[in-house]
Amino acid sequence: MANEYNYGYKYDRCVSQGICSINPATSSLQEVIFLYLKIAAHYGLKLEEFGIKNKQIQNLVLNTISIISSNYEISAVNFNTINYAFKKELPEIIIEYENICKQKNKKADIIDTADLLKDGKTINDYIRLGEKEFNKRTSLYNSELSKLYKTLFILVKSFCINILIYESFNKEVYDEFSCLLTVLNLLNNQNKNKSDILNYIKDLAEKDCKLMQRIKEAQIEEYGEQEESEVSFSTTKGKAILVVGSNLRELEQILDKLKDTNIDIYTHDNMILAHTFPKFKQYKHLKGQFGQGIENCLLDFSTFPGPIILTRNSLYNVENLYRGRLYTTDFAYSKGVIPIKNNDFSDVIKSADESKGFKTGKACRSEVIGFSYNEIINKVHQKLQENIFDRIFIIGIDGTTQAENEYFKNLINHIPDNVFVLSMSCCKETENRICLNAMYDTISVIRLSENLIKNSKQKVSLFFPFCDRHTLSAIIYISSLVKDKIFIGKWNNSIINPNITDVLKEEFSIEEISTPKQDMLKIIPE
C-alpha cells in the first residue's frame, strides 16, 4: 500500500538527468572547503576572545557557505573562487591574530596551514587532500555521529542563508555569525559525543527558526503586512525577464532598476511570495508567476522566452541547461551563467530586448495565495474557544509530488469532526477546517505552529508534506515544543540526504507518512 505514494516527479532533475548524486571529486573538494571553514572558525573565535569582530572572516565564511549551499556540484570554477579567497585572506587573518597575541603577551593557538596554502597546488592535489581529510574524519566518527554531523551542517547552510537575508535588510548579524563560528569550530574538536552534537543541533535549529521570524518582521517592515492575493500565471505580449529564487530584497532592486523600461518581470519558485506583500503590487511591470517551480526548472527555464536571473542562494543546478540567457547576482556561478556585477543590469536588459519575448501572451489560471497572520490566528483561537475540539492538526505546505498531495487530500477525509484542522495546503473549508494557501512560506508555518502549541489546551499534531533545507530547522525546533506526533513527507534527495530521515526518526521521534488510515490510528487509536 505504501508504494502507492512513491511516484516520481514528472520532470524531476534527478530522474531526467541524474544530477543529484555527488561524485567523488565533488565530495573531496567539499572536504577541503570544510577544512578552510573550520580554520576560519578557529581564528574568528580566537579574535572574539580579544573583543575583535573580524568582518573579513564574516564575509569569507558566509560567502563560502552560500556558494556550497546554492550548488549541488562544486565545479572547478567555484572551488577556485573559494580557494583563491582563502589563500589571499587567511594568511592576513592569522598574522592579525599572531600580532595581537604578541601585544597581549599570550601564546598563539596556531593551526598548521602550510600544506593547504602552499602555492602551485593543482585541482588534483586538492582532490587528494580532500580524500585524505575524508578518510581521517570517517576513522574518527561512527555511522551514527556521521549522520548527526551531516544534519548539523544542513542546519548550518540554512542558518547562513538566513543570516545573509537578514543582513540584506541592513540588520546587524554578528551575534548570529558568532553562533555559526561556534558550530563550525566543532569540526576542530574530535572529542564531542552524541549528546553534545544533539544539543548543538537543537540549539541551532531554534536559533534558525527565531532568525526566520525576524526576517519575516523585517519583510513586513519594508513591504507591509502580508495579505491574501490573487497571482496570475498568465503571460502578456512583450519582452520579459524571469526572476528566480526567494530573495525579495534582490527582486525589489531588479524591479527598481527596470521600472523605466518596457520589460515585464515574472517570478518563479519561492519568489511567488512577493505577490502577497502590498509594496510589490505597486510595480506595474511585475506581471505574475511563470512555471511550476524548482522541480520543473528544466522545462520552465527552457520555455521562457527571455533572460533569467538567478538571485543569491537559488538552489539550481544549471549545468544541463541552455547557455546565454542565464544571469546571477550570486558570489559564484556555474559554467554558462553570466554574473551581474555592481548591480549593473545593462546586459540583462540588452538580452531581454534581443530575445523574442512573449509574442501573444497566454491566458492561464490565477491562484489565490497568502494570508494575514493576525487575522488567521485570531480566527483560529475563536474557533478553539467553542470547546468542541479535542485535538489540533496542522498540515504544512503542499507536497512536491502528486502522491503526497493525494495523501493529504485523503488524510483530511479520515479526520473526525472533533479535530480542528489548520491546513497550509489547499482544501475545502468546513466547520472544523481553516484552509490557507501558504505556498513556500515556511516561516508562517513556524509562527502559526508555535502560537497554537503554546497557547492552546488541545494536543497538536503536525504534518509536513513539503520538506526543504529550511524546513529541517522547523521540524527539529517544533519537535521540542509539541507533545504529539509529527509526520513528514518524502525528502527531495537533491536537497536533503536520506540519512537525515534516520536522525529525525531516531532522535526526534518524527515519523514518515505511510497511509492516511495507518497514520491516523497512530494519533487516535480506535
Task: Answer yes or no: is pLDDT of 347 > 70.
Answer: yes
Q: Measured between alpha carbons, how far is 472 from 423 in angstroms, rounded to an integer?
A: 19
CB 516 within 8 A of CB 410: yes
Beta bridge partners of 286: 265
**Could you tell me the three cell numbers for 31?**
572536504
159 C-beta neighbours (distance < 10 Å), count: 25
194 C-beta neighbours (distance < 10 Å), count: 12
Confidence of residue 11 (pLDDT cuts 50, 70, 90): very low
Task: Answer yes or no: is pLDDT of 17 > 60.
Answer: no
Confidence of residue 5 (pLDDT cuts 50, 70, 90): very low
Q: Measured between alpha carbons, how far is 29 from 20 in angstroms, rounded to an integer?
A: 17
Q: Which CATH number fits domain 229-368: 3.40.50.970, 3.30.70.980, 3.30.413.10, 3.40.50.2030?
A: 3.40.50.2030
The reported pLDDT for the residue numbered 414 is 83
The reported pLDDT for the residue numbered 2 is 32
Confidence of residue 10 (pLDDT cuts 50, 70, 90): very low
Confidence of residue 492 (pLDDT cuts 50, 70, 90): low
> Mind listing the pLDDT tens digit for each residue in 27-81?
888 889 999 999 999 999 999 999 999 999 999 999 999 888 766 567 777 888 8
Q: Which of the pair, 475 or 387, is modelled with greater confidence? A: 475
Task: Answer yes or no: is pLDDT of 314 > 80.
Answer: no
Q: Measured between alpha carbons, how far is 104 from 312 in angstroms, rounded to an integer?
A: 40
The reported pLDDT for the residue numbered 245 is 87
The reported pLDDT for the residue numbered 138 is 79
Residue for cell digits 572536504? 31
Q: Which of the pair, 78 or 117, is modelled with greater confidence? A: 117
The reported pLDDT for the residue numbered 35 is 93
**Could you tell me the three cell numbers for 430?**
468546513
Domain with CATH 3.40.50.2030 in the chain: 229-368, 371-523
> Mind listing the pLDDT tens digit for each residue in 270-311?
899 999 999 999 999 999 999 877 767 778 888 899 999 988
Handedness of CA 87, 88, 91, 94 (dihedral sign): negative
> Mind listing the pLDDT tens digit for each residue in 185-206?
988 777 778 899 999 999 999 9
The reported pLDDT for the residue numbered 452 is 94
Residue for cell digits 491566458? 363
Confidence of residue 22 (pLDDT cuts 50, 70, 90): low
Taking residues 309-333, what's their average pLDDT? Answer: 72
Q: Measured between alpha carbons, how far is residue 436 from residues 40, 209, 266, 342, 382 in Å?
A: 44, 21, 23, 39, 17
Q: Measured between alpha carbons, how far is 512 from 516 in angstroms, rounded to an integer?
A: 11
The reported pLDDT for the residue numbered 410 is 82
* Coil, strand or helix at 242: strand
Task: Answer yes or no: is pLDDT of 14 > 50.
Answer: no
Radius of gyration of the chain (CA): 24
CB 487 within 8 A of CB 395: no
Give Cβ neighbours of residue 506 (< 8 Å, ≥ 6 apart): none
Q: The whole model's pTM is what?
A: 0.89
The reported pLDDT for the residue numbered 16 is 39
> Mind listing the pLDDT tens digit for each residue in 127-141?
999 999 888 877 777
Which segment of 4-13, 102-111, 349-358, 380-389 scores lowest on mean pLDDT? 4-13
Print the SS3 string covering 445-469.
Answer: HHHHHHHHHHHCCCEEEEEECCCCC
Give Cβ neighbours of residue 170 (< 8 Å, ≥ 6 apart): none
Confidence of residue 493 (pLDDT cuts 50, 70, 90): low
322-331, long-range: CB within 8 Å, 24+ apart, which pairs? Answer: 324/351, 325/351, 325/355, 326/301, 327/351, 329/250, 330/66, 330/67, 330/70, 331/63, 331/66, 331/67, 331/81
Task: Answer yes or no: is pLDDT of 155 > 70.
Answer: yes
Confidence of residue 320 (pLDDT cuts 50, 70, 90): low
- DSSP for 55-121, written as a single string: HHHHHHHHHHHHHHHS-SS--HHHHHHHHHHHHHHHHHHHHHHHHHHHHHT----PPP-HHHH-TT-
Half-sphere exposure of 118 (CA within 13 A, CB side): 11
Phi, psi of 361 (to 5 degrees): 85, 160
**Could you tell me the three cell numbers for 138?**
570517517
Q: Which CATH number fits domain 371-523: 3.30.565.10, 3.40.50.2030, 3.20.20.150, 3.30.830.10?
A: 3.40.50.2030
Taking residues 8-34, what's their average pLDDT? Answer: 60
Beta bridge partners of 264: 240
Q: Measured between alpha carbons, how far is 510 from 485 in angstroms, rounded to an integer?
A: 7
Handedness of CA 164, 166, 169, 174 (dihedral sign): negative
Q: Which of the pair, 509 or 325, is modelled with greater confidence? A: 509
Task: Answer yes or no: is pLDDT of 513 > 60.
Answer: yes
